[in-house]
Amino acid sequence: MKTYTKETAIGTYHALIEHLIGMMNASPEKVFNFAFSGGDVLWPLFDVWAYDYGDLTPWHRMRIYWTDEHHVPMEHSDSNYGIFSRLLIDKVSFPSDSVFPILCGSASNLKAEAVRYADKVRAAVPMVGGIPVFDAVLLGVEPDGHVASLYPGQEHLLASSQLYVACTNPYSGQRCVTMTGTLLLAASRIVLLAVGKDRAGIVHDVLNSGDTSPLSYIAHHAADVRLFIDVCADGGQ
């Protein structure tokens, strides 16, 4: 795991965005398949991306998928795709046919939607050993150590034979569809973002402890992990 620490949250956002743009600029002929999670730690990053890097990002070479989605309409404040769309897609020259939401809001059967979305990913994302391999998966670090919508107590989903599954948030009871650990671990790169002192505890666990949470497990077992943090998340003041 490689860690990038910046003094401020905004500096951390800039460093992460520049890292992803740098990946794309290093392979100018390549189309990149990314998967993004939701979470409030990522919303400011998407806002900064739209306003500060809107003209610097090769949007036409990005294909964006999702790690997880809540069973709500896209207009709902809990919709990961909906918030991303309002913060970034609607503000830049992003091709509308290059972002692929999980359609939880319109799905009466989330298990069927998990299968549909897994099939879409299999059909579009390059495969290695029978598993689709994203160029990078961007994950917001949450204080409880959940990753995508894989929560503590749901560790069996880290080794699921399925790529996406229907699941339930154990705290709120909210239904969702999530990427499993199998697909997360197959990614070429995992990019983690943690800012703020409320994430210092989980960052410490990821850096210094064992597989104490789904996040720690992914961070410790993925082939290439980049952790972007500010000094507060690193335990500073």
pLDDT digits (tens, 9 = 90+) for 151-193: 999 999 999 999 999 999 999 999 999 999 999 999 999 999 9
The tens digit of pLDDT for each residue in 60-85 reads 999 999 999 999 999 998 999 999 99
What mean pLDDT do residues 82-109 have? Answer: 91
Give the whole-angstrom CA distance, residue 68 versus residue 103. 10
The amino acid at 98: S
- Please give the domain boundaries of the chain with CATH numbers for all domains: 2-230 (3.40.50.1360)
What does the chain come to in residues?
Answer: 237
CA distances from 74 to 42, 103, 135 (A): 17, 8, 26
The pLDDT of residue 237: 59
Q: Pull the structure tokens for residue 40.
A: 């409030």
Whole-prediction pTM: 0.96
